[in-house]
Structures are given as structure tokens and as C-alpha cells.
Amino acid sequence: MQINVFFRKWRVYIAGVLAALGTLYVFAGYARLAFGQQKEFAVRTPVVERGSIVDRNGKPLAVQTTFYHFGVSPRMIRDPAEFAAKVSSVLEMSATEIAAKITENEKSSFVYIKKKITQETYDELYSIIRQNKYTAFSRFDRIPGRVYPENDLASQLIGYMGDEGEGLSGIEYSWEHVLSPELEEGATKDIYGDNVYLTIDAGLQYSLEKIAKATMQSTQAESMMLIAADAKNGEILSYISLPSANLNDFVSADKEETIDRPAASVYEPGSVFKVFTAAACIDTGVLNKDTLFLCDGVYER
């Protein structure tokens, strides 16, 4: 009987200790929020480092960069207006807009404030968040980005990458599996895609695009295409479709600037094969560069 009483008392003592520890843990969490003893906000890893697209000489036409999506946990923010005022200038958003995103999702555990911020903006925002002890409810997701050093050069051929990091047209789309292999489940390290070398020569591409644009302007043509190939092996040295889009601002491009004319348009066989007929005649010595023809629109048997 005395033993049972003894164990009952100890069970009460143990239950009391556990309750006290639980209460202490809860208060410690509030204390961390109040006094800034917060865990570091997350920068999600790993990522796939997308391979580059380069010309035949290795000149970069599409290269990897890093962007960040920035988000917060609205239900953990005590003063949305104060937070918005602190970060609005660096995010280039109005404080009202930021505060509205938070209050409209006040019961949510997470909401994005701004996507695709640059490394420079991330560094500045990181500093503000640390200084103001906002780390407990802030998060950065590191995502792959794309920069196109030559802007609109061979834009339809190169294609572009969407906001979620996948190729949506051109080489970016058709060679997605090489440029950006899938990240295996449970991966702990970044993985690297392979570079894709094109047969085009960026220098020749630039020179011919310049001529094509001038010709298009002087003739007031609505569009133009031009292909230069190596006659010995068939390699495409230049691939031009005008008008073209600035790949660094693809969302602003109109439909005409995105059309891949050499691949998508239909041309009369006779017009296309004139160049092959002329090349065969030059090869066999029937014609030379000084040969003249009278083209009066009449065909005689």
C-alpha cells in the first residue's frame, strides 16, 4: 500500500516537471521572437546549375546566373506596415502593396512577396532582414536564372527559359535534358548540366544580322530570314529570323519577334532550290561570278 502511494506521488511529480518543461519551451519560442534569438532563414538548396549555350568558338550566348524568390510567413509578422516600410525600397515595391500581401494572407504559413530578385538585391535585403531581426519569418528560395549576353542575336534559335527554370523554346527547350538534368530525390549537392555548342559563328551571325536589318529597313519588309551554311558539310553557320526578340526581356516581345521563320514558314520549292541550281553550275564550271543572265519573264522551249 505504501509502495503504491510512493509511485503515485512520483507520477505526479514527473507529470508536473514535464508540464513545466513544455510551458518553458513555449515561452522560449516567444522570447526568441521578441528578443531576436531567431534561427537563420532558409536559402533552399540544392539546385541544378544549368549548362551554357555557346557558339562554335565557345562564345557564350546563354549563361547561368542566380535569382531568389523572397517570401514570408504572414501569421508570424506582428506589424506588417512596419515590415513593409523597411523592405519596400530595396524590393522596388510600394509599402502598401507589400503590407496588403501580408494582411490578405494573415492566416497563411507562407506567401511570396517578390520573385526573381537579383544577387545584388538579395545581398541588400539580407542585410536589412538580419539587422531588423526578421529572420524567423523570412525565406529565400535560390533558383536558376539565365542571362543572354548578346540580347537578340539568334534569339529564335537559342530560345528562352521560363520563370521556373525550364526551357520553353529553341535550344533551351529541345536540349533541356542536357542543359538541366533532373535533380534526384534526396540530393544534397548542386548538380551541373552540360554545355551545348552550336555550329553557328557568333561573329558571322552578328555581321549578317546587321546586313539583314539594314536591308529590311531599306525595303520596308515586314520580316526576313537568312541562313548561311558550310557547303562542304552542311553545318549551319548563321541562322537569322527577323524581327527578333531581346531574350533578356522576352516577356515584352510581340508575337512577330518570336516566330522562327526558317523552321516554321513554308516557301516555294522553286525559290528555295535556285541557290542549289546555281551552286551546281558554279561547281561544274558552267557559270562563274561574272556570268550575266537576261531575265525578261519569258520561257522558251
Q: For position 44, what pLDDT does the model report?
A: 55
Write the burial class of residue 285 (CB in 10 Å: 0-12 exposed, 13-18 middle, 19+ buried).
exposed
Residues 63 and 160 in one domain: yes
Q: For position 301, what pLDDT does the model report?
A: 63
Find the CATH number of the domain harbouring 102. Answer: 3.90.1310.10
Within a domain: 20: no
Residue with cell 528562352: 160
Residues 142 and 53 in one domain: yes
Residues 157 and 65 in one domain: yes
Residues 147 and 103 in one domain: yes
**pTM score, two decimals?**
0.65
Q: For position 165, what pLDDT does the model report?
A: 80
Within a domain: 93: yes
Distance between CA 119 and CA 69 in Å, rounded? 11
Domain total in the chain: 2
Q: Where are the alpha helices (DSSP H) in the chain?
A: 2-35, 80-91, 95-104, 119-131, 155-158, 170-174, 176-179, 202-219, 255-258, 261-264, 269-284
Average pLDDT, rounded, for the chain: 85
Q: For position 4, what pLDDT does the model report?
A: 54
Tell me the pLDDT tens digit for each residue of 171-198.
Answer: 999 999 999 988 777 777 778 899 999 9
Q: For position 185, what pLDDT does the model report?
A: 76
Distance between CA 138 and CA 126 in Å, rounded? 10
Within a domain: 295: no
Within a domain: 26: no
Within a domain: 231: yes
Print the domain residue range for 136: 48-181+190-197
Q: Which stretches of the chain drop beneath a pLDDT of 50?
A: 1, 6-7, 26-40
Within a domain: 142: yes
Within a domain: 301: no
Residues 172 and 212 in one domain: no
Residues 128 and 248 in one domain: no
Residues 219 and 133 in one domain: no
Q: For position 250, what pLDDT does the model report?
A: 87
Q: For position 33, what pLDDT does the model report?
A: 42
3-class DSSP state for residue 186? Answer: coil
Residues 103 and 155 in one domain: yes
Residue with cell 522562327: 260
Residues 92 and 156 in one domain: yes
Residues 57 and 168 in one domain: yes
Query: Residue 66: enclosing H or E segment and its boundaries?
Result: strand 60-72
Residues 171 and 209 in one domain: no
Tell me the pLDDT tens digit for each residue of 75-115.
Answer: 999 999 999 999 999 999 999 999 999 999 988 899 999 99
Query: Residue 193: enclosing H or E segment and its boundaries?
Result: none
Within a domain: 71: yes
Residues 115 and 231 in one domain: no
